[in-house]
Amino acid sequence: YILPQRLSGFRLDKALVHLINKTSRSQIQKIINDLQVKVNDLIISYSDFKVKENDVITVELKKTAALTMQEADIKLDIFYEDEDLIVINKAAGMAVHPGNGNHQDTLVNALLHYTRSLSSIGGWERPGIVHRLDKDTTGLMVIAKNNFAHVHLADQIQSRKLIRKYKALIWGVINPLHGIIKNNIGRSRTDRQKMTILKFGGKEAITHYSTEEIFFNGLVSMVECKLATGRTHQIRVQLSHLRHSIVGDQIYGNNSRKINYSPPIIQKKLVDFKRQALHSWYITSKWKIIGISCFSSRGYVKNNLMSLNTIKELLISAAKKLRLAGISLENLEARILLQYASGKGSEYLLSRGEEEIPLEQRIIFEELVKRRLSLEPIAHIIGSKEFYGYEFIVNNQVLIPRSDTEILIEAILNNLKASSNEHSKPSFKSRNIATQNITMLELGTGSGCIAITVSLELPNIRVVATDISKEAIMTARQNAAKHNVLKRLQIIYSDWFNNLKNQKYDIIVSNPPYVSQQSTTYISLETLKYEPAIALFAEDDGLAAYYIIAKSAKNFLKKSGKLFLEVGFNQSVAVIEIFSKYNYTFKQIYRDLAGYDRVVLFSIE
């Protein structure tokens, strides 16, 4: 160092305090006593030596110092490391150095366990520490592994060449959206643990800020803060002074503003967040130390609330939770929930795994996953289920459409196609079938998925659908309106055939309740808990509904009419016997993809 005129006549120790940033007078005195300081090539061993303008002061720092503090086996998130530096991603709740009764669980204790190569300029309590983060602030910190690195970093901070950027989630939206906060900060006279904005005195504090995202109609916003100075609690104090305190700040928070305009789960998450949502995400510096000319690092928020997690990270995390809860197809379900929360399609999520999900969507996604972990069916969570290529509204008043029931649709379409003398191979979509005068009755329509799908596949068919549940009828009508078939589909309240007129139909179809009351152990917990029992269970070993249909269906079938019935596991033989007793003609069995009997076709001839 060449002594500037402004320090001429100062004591050596006092001059060095001004020249070497982030060092105390006692630390400088120790360096002098250790014979590490020269003035004009002469070793000076006493601190009150007077220096004058243009004196050349050389500080020959020892590489490291003896470190005697207690170690702590705490895993560090190492972001970058070389022979001079360690850049760590500090976790929340970790104090940087010992103090206030905590002498063993700090970052310094963890660093000493990791390496003994740390700078000593900061003193025995702060080896390697050049700058600090508050205990509950997360993110990047630069650690000096030797005294040379420490001095250079300290000089960068003092000359404002070390660029430090933070992301903060704050209450409300700052006006203007971008700007500079400039004021003086000092210790509060009423609470010595806090810093405050001072009209007179204190130290100048400068922060450049930029609003990046606004959430929940301005309830909270994400801002980036770039430090031009490094005062204690600088960002927290300045934002609080503007009445836009950081979410979760327990010291400077003024988050009493109304939050009634956001969903309850989001309100609760914001209010319950108990530490400042502040993250050091970017540090860059240009300097010269043993082969290093430039150091730059970028790190995104990894904490609980502020996280802008990538699509891939969210899907992996959610799938793991679902798998541990015993939910199969966990990857598919995680993707469906994220599609619903983000509004993005499956192809988008699969092809852009490194993109980040905004905070608002992430909070919604986490709540959806939590609901699924309680075994709420995914169809109920998102409010819909695909059936035969169409989306249907579902709720806890109707049975969730199953893919096995699509066999009913294929059986009807293929049978009609064969009857219309079209000899081409049956197609999955059979809109060309001649159905001008064909009528169909569905018993127990539930969500309406069978009746509506047939109406969509066969635009000229006339369909009547019944159900005993008024709530189910309401849902079926919603689905009919959704698919624009209300004018072609009559949905009526009826206990089986009771409210039907003496009209006869070409087709009667039903997926009746067929699970035995004694077979609940074979039904999933989510089905038992969330789906209507009236649509699942039947007496007489699950065959009661088939007896009812067998007794009356022939009174509503035209001559040569067809009756399509879905059956449960190992029920086809019993169902055929029941209908044979009532003089129906068994025609065919349709099997599902697993090879089990799923649909039985009867006729009256």
Distances (CA, A) of 29 to 34, 118, 505, 544: 9, 20, 104, 96
Q: What is the pLDDT of residues 98-122, one digit of tens each?
A: 876 666 789 999 999 899 888 887 7
Active-site residue, selected from the candidate residues 13, 84, 134, 249: 134
Predicted pLDDT of residue 45: 87
Strands (E), 347-435: 384-387, 390-393
Q: What is the pLDDT of residues 471-517, one digit of tens each?
A: 999 999 999 999 999 999 999 999 999 999 889 999 999 999 999 98
For residues 355 and 415, the model is more confident at: 415
- Reported as a pLDDT band with limits 50, 70 and 90, residue 574 is very high
Q: Determine the straight-line distance between the first and last CA of the chain, rounded to whole angstroms.
A: 110
Mean pLDDT of the chain: 86
Predicted pLDDT of residue 72: 86
**Domain ranges across the chain:** 5-59, 78-298, 311-374, 397-603
Cβ atoms of 367 and 409 closer than 8 Å: no
Q: What is the pLDDT of residues 525-551, one digit of tens each?
A: 899 999 999 999 999 999 999 999 999
Predicted pLDDT of residue 483: 97
**Strand 57-59 versus strand 37-39 pairing type:** antiparallel
Predicted pLDDT of residue 288: 44
**Strand 537-538 versus strand 597-603 pairing type:** unpaired
Q: What is the pLDDT of residues 151-171, one digit of tens each?
A: 888 877 777 777 888 989 898
Residue 46 has pLDDT above 90, yes or no: no
- Reported as a pLDDT band with limits 50, 70 and 90, residue 206 is very high
Distances (CA, A) of 500 to 87, 110, 490, 491, 504: 77, 78, 12, 11, 10
Superfamily of domain 5-59: RNA-binding S4 domain (3.10.290.10)
In the chain, the percentage of residues whose pLDDT exceeds 90 is: 50
Superfamily of domain 397-603: Vaccinia Virus protein VP39 (3.40.50.150)
Residue 248 has pLDDT above 90, yes or no: no
Q: What is the pLDDT of residues 308-354, one digit of tens each?
A: 468 888 999 899 999 999 998 999 999 999 999 999 999 999 998 87
Q: Which two tokens stand for residue 133?
A: 């983060």
Q: At 31, phi and psi to the nearest 5?
A: -60, -40
Predicted pLDDT of residue 101: 64
Residue 423 has pLDDT above 70, yes or no: no
Predicted pLDDT of residue 293: 34
Residue 270 has pLDDT above 90, yes or no: no
Predicted pLDDT of residue 80: 83
Residue 429 has pLDDT above 50, yes or no: no
Residue 306 has pLDDT above 60, yes or no: no
Q: At 400, phi and psi to the nearest 5?
A: -70, 125
Query: For the residues 251-257, what does the mean pLDDT come to?
Result: 72
Q: What is the pLDDT of residues 584-600, one digit of tens each?
A: 999 999 999 999 999 99
Predicted pLDDT of residue 564: 98
Query: For the residues 34-47, what does the mean pLDDT come to?
Result: 87
Cβ atoms of 136 and 79 closer than 8 Å: no
Cβ atoms of 279 and 167 closer than 8 Å: yes
50 pairs with which residues across the strands? 11
Predicted pLDDT of residue 405: 96
48 is catalytic: no
Residue 553 has pLDDT above 90, yes or no: yes
Predicted pLDDT of residue 425: 46
Q: At 257, phi and psi to the nearest 5?
A: -65, 160
Distances (CA, A) of 188 to 185, 388, 467, 508: 9, 68, 72, 82
Predicted pLDDT of residue 523: 86
The class that CATH gives domain 78-298 is alpha beta
Q: Which two tokens stand for residue 99?
A: 């103090």
Cβ atoms of 144 and 118 closer than 8 Å: yes
